[in-house]
Structure 1
């Protein structure tokens, strides 16, 4: 039962891997895209991607690169006409169109993702221009991610059902085995008593002198002996059955451990899908999930609920002056510094490139204000050193509490407008709402 599901999961993993590679190749074949994007593509595929969770992370990064390329090509509409000579444009489009169709036919997703992929293939069969081809490739990549997540959730549900059934079967098998063992022991005791009676009877029979009585009793004891032998045979068969039950129970326990291992791996993958791969804090998707849960709880209880966004000042200059590795190092250190000040009920996420966002439930205004200012002070004290040059990094922040008829969308919009306003006054500022 687990094997077909495991094979299906492996097939989906292989399909995702093929889609990622071909989507990367489609991007690399487009002349005129920035060198930085090409370098990011090559670095992305130098990383290990043997696990489904790593593949999904790669797909997400590739999706972002696609979006950047689409934006670049949109703002520079003349790029395509210059990049593709009229004599070769049609051939390249035909090739890419065909490759994308072949990839779609290899994907076997169920539900809405499968239906949408079929619709995209129909459009490709009718023929599309270069702009539409890019958009459709982007849609395919998104659907692959959605389909993979759907398959993962289906696998989780399947494993949960198998796990529940195994627990029930293990309990039943244990009870049956215990009862059979007790019956076997009891029957063994009865058989021993019967054998003892036969032995005693034969001993007493030897003392009798009457030939008639002796013959009658010999016949009776012969029948008893035959019955005892049949009981011995039944006892042997029962012992063999108990051994088979032990074997079956051990097999079920091994299968149970296997499902537990699959379950732990799926949970680990699910956790990594909600984690920013660089800083190891929550990503935007995970934060939105937490925000929605806290918002619903706030509607019921009206507890203190505040959101804060922290933006690294002049982060772009760090990347440009010292390289992206320096920027990545700074992001990781700042994330750890922020996380150290939080408690278990707080939520920290990387919301965009250089922005972190906090969800602070059950804290009053004074506590939140002190916390955010402490985080700003701690980050400003960090001894950053890039290329033998000491750098001070600061955070500009904005925070807003939920009140009256607020929704998450309203609060986030208010938050970002406040952040843009406060950054006009310089670095290391805090806007309080």
Structure 2
């Protein structure tokens, strides 16, 4: 592993370089992966690396990264100092043990070898990867030096317990050293230092321990990769993220080890978060637009209310004017003795009254026109809001439908299957009747992937889905549970009727001409089925059908099994 101090100084030197968006994304991903590989060196460094990953994933501003860099550098330097100290302690313990062997080797058979070994130990250790060779050599010398003393076996085991070949198992307990034996005491100190070094180097011994860790991963690799591929198939990503998703899928299809798995999960979590953030942003934008529309709607209502209030006030004002003018006429009639003058006064006041009425009517017409315009505007905006709501509802329905479908086969995925199972279960509980569940699995699907490639496996799953959908009845339902496993629901069907339909499915798949690149691919399925019974839960019914399917596989595959 490269010196971390060099990495930090190089980062500082390269800081001014301006990267494109794609290069910046690759650089961030590379930094995240490197930081994962450095986990476990020290608690302080782990915290700083965790902060770095969080900052990179959240697209933190540059000044936060600049503030974090000095803290990270100090943590790296401290971890490197601790590593050098541990390696020095290990070297000292090895040297002490070698000198104790010199004392015990009275025959002198190993004197030259021990001197050469001590010279090698005196050279500074740069990495714990050099320890296995030194320990192996020391173990051999120890066996020669203590040959015939009766303690060779136990002392040899004391050294070889820490570093061994892949086929050996660690003992559950370690023999306690004899207090009076000085070389055992030195070995005990050595074990303590080596254990500390092993713990601190756990995350950077990937290449050294790949052969040891790989068999353990292989036991679960197929299951993990199937789950990841299923999840990638169901994940709805943005168009700009599709290539990234395809790269992750291709990496999973090519096979993973533990280290690759961590990186893939990191990428997958990033894709999920990006998709979630995008949909959340779309929804927030819609809510903001809806809020703006409602604010405009409220403003129009308030304006209409103001117009109506003004109209009422104008009406009251007109009424007051008319009353005053009529009263003035009454006064003129009572007090006037000149008929000609009275006639002139009455005509003048009537003209004024008519003029006021005309003005009031014009003002009322204008107000009514303004109110009508506001109402038309509100109606138009309501119509726009209805169209937008319908569009958004259709978009949500499409997204919900897509989220319920498997991208590879076009069948309902596990979420869609679970929804339909719950609906059928509730219907069965409410109305009774007969309801069957069948679980079917493609036989030797891993061999198809291994022999023909994952593209062939995907094609087989698509063709099987088409065959099953075409051969099932309209009343039946089929969904992809995950990987190469499917679930069938058969309402209103007895066990005997279900057996006939499922046997037709099995024969249809067996006889279907599956080809990949002009080469025939033999495909069969194993099925287990059961009926819903009083007191059953969904999980209980599924478990019975699943166990029946595995019995069919145990009995030779390509058959039905009834539960």
Q: 2:54 aligns with which of 94, 101, 114?
A: 101
Aligned residues: 305
Relative contact order: is structure 1 or structure 2 higher (C-alpha 8 Å, sep ≥ 6)? 1
Q: Please state whether the residue corresponding to 1:265 is helix, strand or coil.
A: helix
**Residue 399 of structure 1: aligned partner:** 529
* Superimposed CA distance per residue, residues 110-163 of structure 1 (whole angstroms, 9 cap, x where no aligned partner): xxxxxxxxxxxxxxxxxx9969xx69x87x949x77x959x96x969x97xx79
In structure 2, the CA distance between the partners of 1:230 and 1:28, relative to structure 1 (3 Å rule), is closer
**Residue 53 of structure 1: aligned partner:** none
Whether the aligned pair in 2 keeps the contact of 1:381 and 1:392 (CA below 8 Å) is no
**Residue 331 of structure 1: aligned partner:** 461
* Superimposed CA distance per residue, residues 389-410 of structure 1 (whole angstroms, 9 cap, x where no aligned partner): 1234222111111113322222
In structure 2, the CA distance between the partners of 1:100 and 1:431, relative to structure 1 (3 Å rule), is same
Q: Please state whether the residue corresponding to 2:390 is helix, strand or coil.
A: helix
**Residue 394 of structure 2: aligned partner:** 264
* Superimposed CA distance per residue, residues 98-119 of structure 1 (whole angstroms, 9 cap, x where no aligned partner): 2343368789xxxxxxxxxxxx
**Residue 354 of structure 1: aligned partner:** 484
Q: 2:343 aligns with which of 181, 189, 213?
A: 213
Unpaired runs of at least 5, structure 1: 1-20, 32-79, 108-127, 184-209
**Residue 299 of structure 1: aligned partner:** 429
Whether the aligned pair in 2 keeps the contact of 1:26 and 1:96 (CA below 8 Å) is no
Matched, 1:289 2:419: yes
Q: Please state whether the residue corresponding to 1:339 is helix, strand or coil.
A: helix
**Residue 161 of structure 2: aligned partner:** none
Matched, 1:280 2:410: yes
In structure 2, the CA distance between the partners of 1:258 and 1:343, relative to structure 1 (3 Å rule), is farther
Whether the aligned pair in 1 keeps the contact of 2:527 and 2:561 (CA below 8 Å) is yes
Q: Please state whether the residue corresponding to 2:536 is helix, strand or coil.
A: coil
* Superimposed CA distance per residue, residues 202-253 of structure 1 (whole angstroms, 9 cap, x where no aligned partner): xxxxxxxx78636633531342133112211220121022112211221222
In structure 2, the CA distance between the partners of 1:390 and 1:155, relative to structure 1 (3 Å rule), is same
**Residue 223 of structure 1: aligned partner:** 353
Measure, in 2, the Cα distance between the counterparts of 1:391 and 1:294.
Answer: 36
Shift of 1:425: 3.2
Matched, 1:383 2:336: no
**Residue 341 of structure 1: aligned partner:** 471
In structure 2, the CA distance between the partners of 1:90 and 1:322, relative to structure 1 (3 Å rule), is farther
Measure, in 2, the Cα distance between the counterparts of 1:352 and 1:430.
Answer: 20
Measure, in 2, the Cα distance between the counterparts of 1:304 and 1:330.
Answer: 32
Whether the aligned pair in 1 keeps the contact of 2:530 and 2:541 (CA below 8 Å) is yes
Q: With the length of structure 1 as denominator, give the TM-score of the two structures.
A: 0.56
Measure, in 2, the Cα distance between the counterparts of 1:378 and 1:93.
Answer: 56
Q: Please state whether the residue corresponding to 1:29 is helix, strand or coil.
A: helix
* Higher Cα Rg, which structure: 2
* Superimposed CA distance per residue, residues 64-106 of structure 1 (whole angstroms, 9 cap, x where no aligned partner): xxxxxxxxxxxxxxxx9xx76998x989856641234336878
Matched, 1:370 2:374: no
Q: 1:426 aligns with which of 518, 532, 556?
A: 556
In structure 2, the CA distance between the partners of 1:366 and 1:261, relative to structure 1 (3 Å rule), is same
Whether the aligned pair in 1 keeps the contact of 2:437 and 2:488 (CA below 8 Å) is yes
**Residue 204 of structure 1: aligned partner:** none
Measure, in 1, the Cα distance between the counterparts of 2:547 and 2:421.
Answer: 19
Q: Please state whether the residue corresponding to 1:351 is helix, strand or coil.
A: strand
Q: Please state whether the residue corresponding to 1:278 is helix, strand or coil.
A: coil
1:65-144 matches, cutoff 5 A = 93=46, 96-102=49-55, 141=269
Measure, in 2, the Cα distance between the counterparts of 1:86 and 1:229.
Answer: 89
- The alignment's C-alpha RMSD in Å is 5.0
Whether the aligned pair in 2 keeps the contact of 1:304 and 1:362 (CA below 8 Å) is yes
Q: 2:369 aligns with which of 236, 239, 244?
A: 239
In structure 2, the CA distance between the partners of 1:251 and 1:84, relative to structure 1 (3 Å rule), is closer
Whether the aligned pair in 2 keeps the contact of 1:282 and 1:350 (CA below 8 Å) is yes
Whether the aligned pair in 2 keeps the contact of 1:322 and 1:387 (CA below 8 Å) is no
Unpaired runs of at least 5, structure 2: 1-24, 61-199, 204-257, 312-339
Q: Please state whether the residue corresponding to 1:428 is helix, strand or coil.
A: coil
Measure, in 1, the Cα distance between the counterparts of 2:382 and 2:518.
Answer: 61
Q: With the length of structure 2 as denominator, give the TM-score of the two structures.
A: 0.44
Measure, in 2, the Cα distance between the counterparts of 1:86 and 1:297.
Answer: 54
Q: Please state whether the residue corresponding to 2:535 is helix, strand or coil.
A: coil
Measure, in 2, the Cα distance between the counterparts of 1:229 and 1:28.
Answer: 78
Q: Please state whether the residue corresponding to 1:357 is helix, strand or coil.
A: strand
In structure 2, the CA distance between the partners of 1:363 and 1:246, relative to structure 1 (3 Å rule), is same
Whether the aligned pair in 1 keeps the contact of 2:495 and 2:530 (CA below 8 Å) is no
Whether the aligned pair in 2 keeps the contact of 1:298 and 1:305 (CA below 8 Å) is yes
Measure, in 2, the Cα distance between the counterparts of 1:28 and 1:333.
Answer: 40
Shift of 1:305: 1.5
1:163-202 matches, cutoff 5 A = none
Measure, in 2, the Cα distance between the counterparts of 1:273 and 1:241.
Answer: 47
In structure 2, the CA distance between the partners of 1:303 and 1:96, relative to structure 1 (3 Å rule), is farther
**Residue 411 of structure 1: aligned partner:** 541
